[in-house]
């Protein structure tokens, strides 16, 4: 089971396989977006992938590999982003081993200066796919936090859209999110003596498919909650369906 990334709950250390490559981009993780640069992070939800690297315009950008089971986020020090020159950029996600069965996947996007982006990979090792979304970061003026939902669950057959139910609010906070859909951020409570529990459910049902407990984010921070794994496999171990999260900004 992937460790929960909520800052303030647990301190997470990330490790990975590191190699030397010629032509590495001179990019450093940054906590705040540089107004002259774009910012990019990567989250790996490709089932059974173990050593995925990020390339930007065919130049290696990630210093360590990410895998589905561990170290799924790059840069691993959350919250952090890679700084990237704005403009039209091709981001490629791949395993560099010659014997890999994981296909190389590329997405091209016009990155705006001062903007933040996340690349999500998904599907299975032999059919890896990726998408890029713009992170609409807003720092709240009050003491709330912000939360979004990414539906990266895998199924070989058609499945329903998903809701996310908040036990504390006793209502859905995200509704009817399609597979590979990513919502915008919404306001969420923070720094509370009472934590929340989130359940993901097929839209219109009350059956919990995966659960994230102990939710108590930090004020003014933004978080991403991800539903991932194999839909038909009961989780959260291995590739079973699971609800995980990380501190985005």
* Residue 11 covered by a domain: no
* Residue 20 covered by a domain: no
Q: Does residue 223 sit in helix, strand or coil?
A: strand
Structure confidence at residue 212 (pLDDT): 98
For 10-41, b/e burial (b = at least 16 CB within 10 A) is eebebebeeeeeeeebebebeeebeeebbbbb
* Residue 23 covered by a domain: no
Domain span at residue 200 reads: 29-247
* Residue 3 covered by a domain: no
Band of the pLDDT at 59, cuts 50, 70, 90?
A: very high
The number of angstroms, rounded, from the C-alpha of 92 to the middle of its chain's C-alpha atoms is 16
> Which tens digit of pLDDT belongs to each residue from 188-240?
999 999 999 999 999 999 999 999 999 999 999 999 999 999 999 998 999 99
238 contact partners, CB below 8 Å, separation of at least 6: none
Q: Are 161 and 227 in contact (CB under 8 A)?
A: no
Parallel, antiparallel, or unpaired: how do β-strands 116-122 and 29-30 relate?
unpaired
* Residue 8 covered by a domain: no
* Residue 63 covered by a domain: yes
* Residue 18 covered by a domain: no
Structure confidence at residue 9 (pLDDT): 34
> Which tens digit of pLDDT belongs to each residue from 65-104?
999 998 899 998 888 999 999 999 999 999 999 999 999 9
pTM score > 0.95 for this model?
no
* Residue-by-residue DSSP string for 196-217: EEEEEEETT----SEEEEEE-P
- The closest of 198, 197, 202, 199 to 231, measured between CA atoms, is 202
Structure confidence at residue 77 (pLDDT): 83
* Residue 200 covered by a domain: yes
Q: Within 10 Å of residue 52's Cβ, how many Cβ atoms? A: 28
> Which tens digit of pLDDT belongs to each residue from 148-177?
999 999 999 999 999 999 999 999 999 999
247 contact partners, CB below 8 Å, separation of at least 6: 5, 6, 7, 78, 79, 218, 221, 222, 223
| 125 backbone dihedrals φ, ψ, rounded to 5° | -55, -45
- Extract the tokens encoding 171: 């209502």
* Residue-by-residue DSSP string for 80-109: -EEEE-SEEEEEEEE---TT--SPPEEEEE
Query: 99, exposed or middle or buried, with CB in 10 Å at 0-12, 13-18, 19+?
Result: exposed
Q: How many domains does the chain have?
A: 1
């Amino acid at each position: 089971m992937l460790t929960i990334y909520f800052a303030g709950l647990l301190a997470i250390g990330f490790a990975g396989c590191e190699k030397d490559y010629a032509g590495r981009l001179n990019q450093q993780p940054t906590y705040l977006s540089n107004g002259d640069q774009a910012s990019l992070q990567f989250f790996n939800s490709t089932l059974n992938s173990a050593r995925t690297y990020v390339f930007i315009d065919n130049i290696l950008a990630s210093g360590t590999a990410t895998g589905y089971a561990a170290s799924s986020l790059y840069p691993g020090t959350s919250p952090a982003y890679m700084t990237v020159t704005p403009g039209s950029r091709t981001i490629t996600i791949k395993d560099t081993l010659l014997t890999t069965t994981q296909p190389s996947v590329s997405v091209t996007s016009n990155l705006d200066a001062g903007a933040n982006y996340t690349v999500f990979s998904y599907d299975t090792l032999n059919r890896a796919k990726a998408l890029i979304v713009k992170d609409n970061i807003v720092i709240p003026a009050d003491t709330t936090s912000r939360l979004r939902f990414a539906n990266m669950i895998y199924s070989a057959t058609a499945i329903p859209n998903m809701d996310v139910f908040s036990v504390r609010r006793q209502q859905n906070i995200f509704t009817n999110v399609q597979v590979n859909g990513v919502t915008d951020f919404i306001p969420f409570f923070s720094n509370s003596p009472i934590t929340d529990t989130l359940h993901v459910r097929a839209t219109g049902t009350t059956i919990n498919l995966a659960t994230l407990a102990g939710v108590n984010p930090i004020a003014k921070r933004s978080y991403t909650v991800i539903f991932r794994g194999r839909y038909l496999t009961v989780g959260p171990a291995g590739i079973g369906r699971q609800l995980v999260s990380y501190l985005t900004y």
